[in-house]
Amino acid sequence: MSDLSFLENLKNHFINKYKFIPIAHSKVSVQSSVSIIIRNINSRYEILFIKRTTRDSDKFSGHMAFPGGVKENIDKDSLATAIRETEEEVGLDLEMYSDIIGRFSDYKPVNPEANKFVVSPFIFYLNIPDVELVRCEDEVEEMVWIPISTLLTNLSNSVRIGTRYAKPYKDNVFLYQGYKIWGMTGKILYAFLQEIENYYE
């Protein structure tokens, strides 16, 4: 697997083949964005995740997540939100250190306490893989890079079926060195890995 072919295939896929599915916003919608950040270090592709700091004001408190957050008035669009929130949370300037690969389909959480959110994921490739990250302690407890190969190995075993919110519930759970990715992030990750697995050989 060459660096060029994998990245070029991803770019081609998300520009020319991928069918982006937006979610319509209502008057009560809360627009937000997340960043799926990929790097290649020591010939290994990895995705950046954060563990959110535990706090009462955060609906996703303590969860594993992609960097991101709620759109503010200063953001001209959803992409600007992803870029700003990433810099605020992990100290990474995506405009300086990355290329944008594309936009992934919007997602709306199932959790009744959070289903006003409409989440727009954006995919970035980090050009300088060892750039220093600086976490915002108020929002981020930990930062972890997880190999894509490991996530793909767990893809078929990630499906979890049960009952939640008094209804049948299906989500995806990924475990890595004591970290547990589930819920909204698990579902977005599962869908993203399905899109890229054929290019990762």
Query: pTM of this prediction?
Result: 0.93
Of the candidates 107, 129, 178, 181, the one whose C-alpha atom is nearest the C-alpha of residue 151 is 181
Domain count of the chain? 1
pLDDT, mean of residues 171-197: 95
CATH of the domain at 108: 3.90.79.10
65-107 pLDDT tens trace: 999 999 999 999 999 999 999 999 999 999 999 999 999 999 9
178 lies in some domain: no
Of the candidates 78, 85, 83, the one whose C-alpha atom is nearest the C-alpha of residue 97 is 83
88 lies in some domain: yes
Confidence label for 59 from pLDDT (cuts 50, 70 and 90): low
24 lies in some domain: yes
Q: Which two tokens stand for residue 196?
A: 């890229």
189 lies in some domain: no
54 lies in some domain: yes
Question: Is 1 a residue whose pLDDT tops 60?
Answer: no
159 lies in some domain: no
